Amino acid sequence: MQILPILAAIGTALFYATDNITDKIFTTHTVKNEYAYLALTGLLEVVVGLVAWFFLDWNSVNAQNIWFPILAGIFFASQGYLWITLLKKHDTTNLIGFIYTYPLLMIPLSYFVFGDKLSLAGIFAVIMIVAGIMIISLRIRNTSKYFGLVFLLPMIIVTAITEIFIKTSTNNMPFLNSAVITVLTTGLLYSGNILFSKKSRNEFIKNINKTRVLIFGEISDIGGLFLLVYATSKLPVTIVAAITCIQPLFVLILEQVAHKTFGKMVKDKTIIWKLTGVTFIIAGLIVLTLRELI
């Protein structure tokens, strides 16, 4: 039984859902420039990564293998930039629902890269999950084909590739070492954007005293990454990808709470389609999890 990795995958979804909502709160109410916000969170990630670095044993890590978590960090950062851009235009639940169609891409990718296979029950579960996600995604309106091709489609592809590199990293080094390198790479790429944008740099300096407010969101982000790396080190990447599809459920709940508390969180107030989609996701998750436990 792989109970702990399954719980870690579910925990990943909860942590990232919390991070998704805090991103929306902070970019709406605290740091209005989204790229300055990324730079501030990146600074916190670099600090956490450097502190963790000195508590780990690096003697067993082959220097040639550090490129895998570095590449994971590069794709993870790309994911962050795409996400923060999309967040300005759509509700969090609708975006997460659309992005989490990526397990369909993971099935062929993981088969060719790792030889992972899903049973018929597993494939059926993934189809149910993706069907639920697509129902949620139908609520994304007024999106041009250009916007979808430039931001939404790349976000799905980048998310899948990120998890492939995370799995490759954990196959070649301890998962904690892999996670720390990924966090450091991501943090450096996030904070580095202020070197190229005067507007972001000015907003970064203006809001640097607010980093303590952002710590809660970063705990969720970094915690989710560590849980994801652990789950991926123990389970096939397709299973992890499918289990973390419960994230839209957590986002839906937290989004409604945040909207009532802070306001300006939700544009699409019709909840029935979101609940229908989430029901499909949970049903698929149950099938997939039972298949893994039996």
**Residue-wise pLDDT tens digits, 139-168:** 555 444 445 556 667 877 888 888 888 888
pLDDT band at 121 (very low <50, low <70, confident <90, very high): confident
Mean pLDDT of 173-197: 90
CA–CA distance, 233 with 108 (Å, rounded to integer): 19
pLDDT score, position 187:
92
Mean pLDDT (the chain, rounded)? 77
Query: Is 105 buried (19+), middle (13-18) or exposed (0-12) by CB count in 10 A?
Result: middle
Q: Are the beta carbons of 18 and 250 closer than 8 angstroms?
A: yes
Res 107 pLDDT > 70: no
Domain count, the chain: 1
- Looking at residue 93, its pLDDT comes to 58
Whether the predicted pLDDT of 231 surpasses 80: yes
pTM of the full predicted structure? Answer: 0.75
H or E stretch including 44? helix 34-53
Its domain, for residue 188, covers 3-293
pLDDT band at 79 (very low <50, low <70, confident <90, very high): confident
Q: Taking the mean position of all CA atoms in its chain, how far away is CA 60?
A: 29
Binning pLDDT at 50, 70 and 90, where does residue 1 land? very low
Per-residue pLDDT of 202-220, as tens digits, reads 877 877 776 666 777 778 8
